Amino acid sequence: MKKVFGLLLIGIFLVLNYTGNGGQDEPASLDSSKAKGKLFIIGGGSRSDTLKDIMISESNLASGGYAVVLPMSSSNQDTAAYYGILQFSERDYPASAFTFGAGDQVTPARLDSLRNAALIYIPGGVQSRFMDVINKNPEIERAVKDAYRNGALVAGTSAGAAIMSKIMITGDQKKYPEYTPTYYHLEKDNMITEEGMGLLTGAIVDQHFVKRGRNNRLLTAVMEYPDHIGIGIDESTAIVVDGNKIKVVGESQVLVYRNNSGSAITKEGKLGARDIGLDIYLPGDTFTLR
């Protein structure tokens, strides 16, 4: 009887380990500094052939791998899928798109294909729309994280960049419901964030940064979340994240805010802080995440 009970416990342990999260639907957390893969986070806008070539060269596509496009941010997934695939197919690399959430089934075969991809590409659109699909189908997030852990490059542009953070900027504000491209105020409890994929830990990403003047938005983020750095990526520009090392590529700048005080000051609803550092990086520059 004891032997049977012991075997039963081992079986339960193996099942829990197989799910990777104690049998719950929530994907396990991920430390980006320990992943074998890389992130290629693009600030939106046009992508030059050079930028596309750098993205591909940072992946394992040339070693016989394939790319998968996840276009769930877009309101027109078929169009986003077409152009997402085109950047690979016109360079003779195999690619496919999985339009999860648009009537397609989240099958084990699709998840295996995602898990074994050399490059996963997430186009732009609305980041909350993408995370809506992910939250309803957490096995997709687990597959992406497994691929990243095991050596895949995960790339995203615009909304596909925003979802890289665990703390994801939505662009919406509590106190000013009419959408604006940036914030016109630095106020406490105004920023609306949601939970992103959390592929990039310890940082909050903002996109279209210089082009749309989003300094106030990212300043608010590092005051509301002082233990995170803020990374603002301009259009036609990307960062390559390899462990703790980050390299800037493309045509413009990347702005990085660090709240060195680790706190914020509030007075009559207005946010203030001391010792917020700003670094402005150019293509070819490198910096560390921590």
Identify the pLDDT of residue 20: 38
The verdict on residue 7 lying in a domain is: no
Domain assignment present for residue 75? The answer is yes
Q: What phi, psi does 276 have (nearest 5°)? A: -90, 120
* Spatial distance between the Cα atoms of 6 and 2, rounded to a whole number of angstroms: 6
Kindly report, residue by residue over 18-33, the tens digit of the pLDDT. Answer: 333 333 445 556 777 7
Confidence at residue 8, expressed as pLDDT on a 0 to 100 scale: 36
The model carries a pTM of: 0.89
pLDDT tens-digit series, residues 190-232 = 999 999 999 999 999 999 999 999 999 999 999 999 999 999 9
The answer to whether 118 and 60 have CB atoms below 8 angstroms apart is yes
Owning domain of residue 208: 31-288
Q: What pLDDT does 289 receive?
A: 87
Rounded to an integer, what distance in angstroms lies between the CA atom of residue 113 and that of residue 102? 18
The model's pLDDT over 110-163, given as tens digits with 9 standing for 90+, comes to 999 999 999 999 999 999 999 999 999 999 999 999 999 999 999 999 999 999
Give bridge partners of residue 155 from the DSSP assignment: 40, 121
pLDDT in the model for residue 31: 76
Do the domain assignments include residue 158?
Answer: yes
At residue 10, the pLDDT reads 33
pLDDT value of residue 26? 52
Check which CATH number belongs to the domain holding 251 and give it. Answer: 3.40.50.880
With respect to residue 196, please indicate whether it lies within any of the assigned structural domains.
yes
Domain count for the chain: 1
Q: Is the pLDDT of residue 281 over 80?
A: yes
- Name the DSSP class of 15: H
Averaged confidence pLDDT in the chain: 90
Contact 215, 176 (CB under 8 A): no
pLDDT, position 104 = 67
Is 216 inside any structural domain? yes
40-83: pLDDT as tens digits: 999 999 999 999 999 999 998 999 999 999 999 999 999 999 99
Average pLDDT over residues 251-264: 97
Higher pLDDT, 46 or 104: 46
Q: Considering the domain boundaries, does residue 231 fall inside one?
A: yes
Question: What is the C-alpha to C-alpha distance for residues 72 and 131, in angstroms, rounded to an integer?
Answer: 8
* Residue 9 included in any domain: no
| Strand 203-206 with 286-288, pairing | unpaired
For 192, phi then psi, to 5°, come to: -105, 120
Report yes or no on 25 lying in a domain. no
Q: For residue 103, what pLDDT band results from cuts at 50, 70 and 90?
A: low
The beta-carbon contacts of 18-26 under 8 Å, at least 24 apart in sequence, are 20/142, 21/142, 25/138, 25/139, 26/138
Cα angle value 169/171/175 (rounded, 5°): 110
Burial 72-92 (b: 16+ CB within 10 A, else e): bbbeebeebbeebbebbeeee
pLDDT value at residue 49: 97
Q: Could you identify the residue written with the tokens 């005080």?
A: 261
SS3 26: coil
Distance CA(169)–CA(224), nearest Å, equals: 12
